[in-house]
Structure 1
Amino acid sequence: MQFTLLDIWHHTGLFARMIIFTLAIMSVASLVVMAERMIVFRKTRSDSRNFAAKMGAILAKGDLTTAANTNLGKDVGHLGRVINSGLTAYRITPGNKDLAVESVARALERQAQREVQSLKRGLGLLATVGSTAPFVGLLGTTMGIVNAFQLMAAAGSGGLATISAGISEALITTAFGLLVAIPAVMAYNFLQGWVDARSVDISESSNEFLDVVARHVGGGSSHTA
């Protein structure tokens, strides 16, 4: 048997074909998640940087009321949605220092958790594919070897030459499983690292914004809804 896709497909049995078909679905699903997450991450990073540049200039003046009433549009990225939630909480909270700071802090924390979970969307599928694809391939290999020994027993002859073709065909499913799992694991580790880095960015930005609110409210400034 030659190692071409057409020859491999013709020499595999029904069960092995089902395994290969399952692995193909897992591979396509993981590739779709990879592409979708890369597009989303690139856009949200760009939008967040634009928001930080514009809102940072306003907050640098210490005018939270103006910042709270500024609308920078919907495309503000993960960072913009977190900070906007804090600005909204600041705007609708009565002029009490402790209440304002606590309300803003809770709003920032809630939205930060939502954003991190949103960024992680689809990563569970990559982790599942990366961890299970080799075992799915191994299942096909195991059943293929069992079938090879059954054929040897039915033929009444032994020897490695008798079952080598069957074993080589069976091992193909393990190879497919590894080919599916390796890119999924690499993509998961990369994307998870990116999400962790953005989580740190969100935390730092939230703390900086909360410091601005605390200084503004503590300085005796008042705000209205």
Structure 2
Amino acid sequence: MSLPLLSSINHLVLAAEAAPQMSFDLVHMWHTMGPFAKGIAGVLGVMSIYSLGVMGERLVTYARAASASRNFAVQLPGMLKDGKYGDAVALSKKLGRGHISKVLGLAIEEYERGVEINAKGGQAGMGDFDVVAAVNRAVDRSSQRTIADLRRGLGALATVGSTAPFVGLLGTVAGIITAFQAMAATGSGGLGSVSAGIAEALVTTAFGLLVAIPAVMMFNYLTNRVEDMTVDINDSANELVDYFLKEGHTDAAAK
């Protein structure tokens, strides 16, 4: 190997050893970020904490609703068979967290009130009215309120999942602009002069994806849970109305 070539290699090695070593750990990147990038990271942190809070609150709420609904569904048939509509209403209020108990409790209360009014000759000047139709209207009202309560927070979770990547990308774009401005100001060229700035800028995009992916996954899961509970509400309400049509009126009239 010729002496000039060896000299060039030694010069490059010495230059590489003398060059400052860039640190790419998160703490160093945070300290080297600009105010705008830190602001973006702060926004993403707030979005992450909020989405995690919604996830935890909804999971606990759905678990409690499922447990209360199971307890109500187990005890309700015996109460209906014995004509204990008042006890069924009281149980529904006691298990108020259950989605099924909320809807069926109001339906049973409406049915009991309607049967009592008809037994007294109906309302003044109006005569008898269709009790089952009143029950169906009560089911519709309570179902809409219950489902709306079950969906509470899911819209915000979807917003976090859809916007977090773009918020992170905004920080990345701003960081890349800053890196190229620094390169233009110093007059240095090449990828090496801006690689550190670009790497720091990409942190916000990675953070945005880290916030968005769990939010989207949990939004889909929780939406499926709400759909399953909606089916349970509709099935239970239809079964209750069928019971009133076939057996309930006779039982109530005989009390």
The aligned residue for residue 3 of structure 2 is none
Work out whether residues 85 and 109 of structure 2, in 8 Å CA contact, stay in contact via their aligned partners in 1: no
1:100 to 131, 154, 178: 131
1:58 aligned partner: 79
1:112-154 deviation digits (Å, cap 9, x = unpaired)? 1111111111111110110000000000001111111111111
Task: Report the CA distance shift for 1:3/1:164 in structure 2 as closer, same or farther (over 3 A).
Answer: closer
Normalised TM-score (structure 2): 0.81
RMSD, matched Cα: 2.0
Extract unaligned runs of 5+ from structure 1: none
Counterpart residue number, 1:222:
253
Aligned to 1:128: 159
Match for residue 194 of structure 1 among 225, 240, 243: 225
Aligned residue for 1:88?
109
Distance in structure 2 (CA, Å) of the matches to 1:210 and 1:161: 74
2: CA distance between counterparts of 1:110 and 1:99? 17
1:193-213: CA deviations, max 9, x gaps?
Answer: 101000000000000001111
Are residue 42 (structure 1) and residue 63 (structure 2) matched? yes
Partner of 2:94: 74
- Answering whether residue 187 of structure 2 is matched by residue 156 of structure 1, we say yes
Q: What's the TM-score, normalizing by structure 1?
A: 0.91
Unaligned runs of 5+ in 2: 1-21, 123-127
Counterpart CA distance in 2 for 1:220 and 1:24 is 59
Of 211-220 and 163-172, the range deviating more from structure 2 = 211-220
2: CA distance, partners of 1:185 / 1:24: 16
**d(CA) in 2 for partners of 1:53, 1:116:** 22
Structure 1 residue 186 displacement after superposition: 0.9
> 1:91·1:223 contact (CA, 8 Å) conserved in 2?
no
RCO greater where, 1 or 2, for CA within 8 Å and sep 6 or more?
1
How far does the alpha carbon of each residue in 1:8-48 deviate from its partner, in whole angstroms, 9 at most, with x for none?
A: 21121111100000000000001111111111111111011
Q: What's the counterpart of residue 29 of structure 2?
A: 8
1:2: Cα distance to partner? 3.6
* Counterparts of 1:12 and 1:196, CA distance in 2: 44
In structure 2, what residue type is equivalent to 1:67? Y
